[in-house]
């Protein structure tokens, strides 16, 4: 597989995309999984209005093309806001309409066990990256931010493939990082109704809505938030990430295999993007 910058900026068309996160970071996705019906076609970087994009893999899963990016597009020398803009500009140009994502989170809720999974159904955005968009053309309604059909599919696939694992739904609190939160901050987040903490759901969930795509994510509980349980160790965190990466990757691949048959687009995701009302001539 040859990595190159596409000089003609010919972005391949693909209806599906996978945004990899920390839970598959330790493996080469999807090659290390050695799954039947999965192959890598090419790897390329594109030029966007927000700078050079992260590297994308174009893969096929049972004949259907999927764009794959590693670790949310985050990389040295590029702000996370710009990385998200670059990533979603490419996805928009590619015509992506279905996005699955993953990552690692810290559990605020004591019932959420280490190595269990959570599928967010809503979020509280406490990050400073709120003004991250591709344009000012749309009003984004965040009434149902996560696609309920994709969330249901991820839950069923995870429970079916790993019946010994706990699969929860909950409220994802977004913070900037890259540090972890203090005990006092965790107590505050718990009082707000947060159940897990992570750094990637926003602005991805806004940008997915902006490009008219359905979005859902599966997240691995890798530690208990500060003050919730025992003090986690760096080695424990590392072991969870490395030992569970293949499980996460296999769930994602199998979920994509099911999307064509089971994701019937009866959700309202595409209807929650409206043309902006803030036209210049209407402003006082």
pLDDT of residue 281: 55
Residue 184 makes CB contacts below 8 A (sequence gap 6+) with none
pLDDT of residue 283: 46
204-258 pLDDT tens trace: 999 999 999 999 999 999 999 999 988 889 999 999 999 999 999 999 999 999 9
Q: What does the domain layout of the chain look like in residue ranges?
A: 3-263
pLDDT at 23 over 50: yes
| Nearest of 84, 174, 171 to residue 126 by alpha carbon | 174
C-alpha distance from residue 64 to each of 14, 160, 183, 257 (Å): 8, 23, 45, 9
Specify the residue for token string 């209806």: 15
Is pTM, for the whole model, over 0.85?
yes
pLDDT at 107 over 50: yes
Share of the chain above pLDDT 70, in %: 94
pLDDT at 81 over 60: yes
Residue range 184-188: average pLDDT? 97
pLDDT of residue 284: 42
For residue 139, the surrounding DSSP H or E stretch is: strand 138-140
Neighbours of 118 (CB within 10 A): 25
Residue 173 makes CB contacts below 8 A (sequence gap 6+) with 108, 123, 124, 126, 189, 192, 194, 195, 196, 197, 198
Say how far apart CA 85 and CA 172 lie, in whole Å: 21
Q: Angle at the Cα of 45 (from 66 to 10), degrees rounded to 5?
A: 75
Residue that wins the pLDDT comparison between 128 and 214: 214
CATH code of the region 3-263: 3.40.50.1580
Band (pLDDT 50/70/90 cuts) for residue 1 is very low
pLDDT at 272 over 70: yes
Interhelix angle 148-161/234-262, rounded to 10 degrees, is 120
What phi and psi, each to the nearest 5 degrees, are found at residue 89?
A: -65, -45
């Amino acid at each position: 597989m040859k990595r190159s910058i596409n000089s003609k900026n010919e972005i391949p068309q693909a209806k599906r995309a996978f945004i990899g996160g920390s839970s598959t970071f330790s493996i080469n996705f999807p090659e290390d999984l050695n799954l039947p019906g999965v192959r890598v076609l090419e790897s390329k970087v594109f030029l966007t209005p927000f700078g050079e994009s992260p590297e994308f893999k174009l893969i096929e899963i049972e004949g259907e093309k999927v764009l794959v990016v590693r670790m949310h597009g985050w990389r040295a020398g590029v702000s996370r806001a710009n990385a998200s803009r670059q990533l979603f500009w490419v996805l928009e140009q590619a015509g992506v309409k279905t996005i699955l994502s993953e990552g690692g989170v810290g559990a605020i809720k004591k019932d959420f066990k280490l190595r269990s999974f959570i599928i967010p159904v809503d979020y509280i955005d406490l990050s400073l990256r709120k003004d991250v968009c591709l344009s000012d053309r749309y009003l984004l309604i965040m009434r149902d931010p996560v696609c309920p059909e994709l969330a249901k599919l991820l839950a069923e696939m995870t429970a079916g493939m790993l019946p010994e694992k706990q699969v929860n739904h909950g409220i994802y609190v977004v913070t900037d990082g890259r540090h972890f939160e203090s005990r006092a901050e965790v107590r505050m987040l718990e009082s707000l109704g947060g159940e897990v903490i992570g750094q990637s759901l926003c602005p991805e969930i806004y940008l997915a809505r902006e490009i008219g795509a359905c979005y859902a994510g599966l997240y691995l509980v890798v530690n208990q938030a500060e003050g919730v349980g025992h003090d986690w160790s760096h080695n424990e965190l590392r072991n969870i990430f490395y030992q569970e990466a293949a499980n996460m990757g296999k769930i994602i691949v199998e979920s994509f295999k099911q999307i064509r048959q089971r994701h019937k687009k009866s959700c309202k995701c595409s209807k929650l993007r409206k043309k902006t009302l803030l036209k210049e001539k209407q402003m006082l």
